[in-house]
Structure 1
Amino acid sequence: MESWYLLFCKAKQELRAQTNLQNQGFEVFFPEHKIERIIKGRRSIKTSPLFPNYLFIKLNTQNCNFSAVKNTRGVSGFVAYGSKFQIVPEQLISQLRSFETACEVKSDLPKTGDVVYLNTESFKNVQAIYQEPDGDMRSILLVNLLNKQVTVSVDNKEISL
């Protein structure tokens, strides 16, 4: 009988463990989601793990060598309660797979109307209202100067939430 188990991986080595386990012929599932962020002033979409340091693996309980899985590079061990390895229900895996395919890109970027702060030398910690992106590297903000709302185009590196 085949069941899904939960593996704990070494820090930042989930992909290494996944590759090594797949090379050994195991079915492995590593759920990920996409996040839109500003990195070095540019908007980019980054894939990050849904559960950092954890992998799901499908094993045959009768004839599987659990020590071979546990000693794979990148794997720290099985998640267990006492001496019994934790079995993950098939329904949970199918729900995670459907979530992963249906998931839209999650954005950490400000939305129109959000309050942001400027980090420039002349406008240190000045509050502004985010309007819209101005290309990949800049954004348009509304800044209150002398009781008047002024539209300013600012580099994305100079904005903090």
Structure 2
Amino acid sequence: MWYLLCFTATRFNYVLSFLDKENMEVYCPKRITRYLRPDKVNSYRDKESPAFPGYLFIKTDFESYHPSNFAKCRYIHGLVNFGGKPAVIKDEDIERVRKCEAGYQFEHVSSSDNDYQCDAWRNILRNDDPDVRLKKMIEYLNLQRKEAA
């Protein structure tokens, strides 16, 4: 199952290294932002950055890896919880995010997928403000949890 891990955003590489040592599958959606180069006129550079700074999707099984083990890394704050339970993210949602990140228009998503869910992820990732993207993602995951209950 996939979960959302919260960590200190400025310690991204340290946290990735820790999770790699723990044999954890990690997914971090990226965004490419374009900025004007200070050294050339009318020239731009692309910069890749995390879509949700301070958050990673991780795939783990609590039978083999207990969440308390995250305490070994001082920069990991823990899993995002709703109602005292870790927020579970469906494999389908991770696939939607991956396709959206890769620039797909969701035409390749199977017909069983709900258009609302595809549009929701597309709208989340299109937002330029990382705080707004994060807020919308948390709202979406909370809504999914309520619908599943």
Alignment correspondent of 2:102: 101
Q: 1:29 aligns with which of 15, 21, 27?
A: 27
Find the aligned partners of 2:62 and 2:35 in 1 and give their Cα distance.
Answer: 42
Alignment correspondent of 1:78: 79
Q: Which has the larger radius of gyration?
A: 1
Alignment correspondent of 1:115: none
Code of the aligned partner of 2:61? N
State the secondary structure of the residue aligned to 2:9.
coil
State the secondary structure of the residue aligned to 1:47.
strand
The change in CA–CA distance for 1:70 and 1:21 in structure 2 (over 3 A counts) is same
Alignment correspondent of 2:10: 12
The change in CA–CA distance for 1:68 and 1:33 in structure 2 (over 3 A counts) is same
Alignment correspondent of 2:89: 88
How many residues matched?
103
Q: For residues 118-158 of structure 1, what are the alpha-carbon distances to aligned partners after superposition, in whole Å with 9 as ceiling and x for unaligned? A: xxxxxxxxxxxxxxxxxxxxxxxxxxxxxxxxxxxxxxxxx
1:16–1:73 contact (8 Å) kept in structure 2: no
State the secondary structure of the residue aligned to 2:70.
helix
Code of the aligned partner of 2:13? L
What stretches of structure 1 move > 3 A for 4+ residues in a row?
none
Higher helix share: 2
Q: Any gaps of 5 or more consecutive residues in structure 2?
A: 105-125, 129-149
Code of the aligned partner of 2:88? I
CA apart distance, 1:41: 4.1
Identity of aligned residues (%): 28
State the TM-score, normalized to the length of structure 2.
0.61
Find the aligned partners of 1:91 and 1:15 in 2 and give their Cα distance.
Answer: 27
Higher strand share: 1
The change in CA–CA distance for 1:9 and 1:76 in structure 2 (over 3 A counts) is same
Find the aligned partners of 1:101 and 1:22 in 2 and give their Cα distance.
Answer: 23
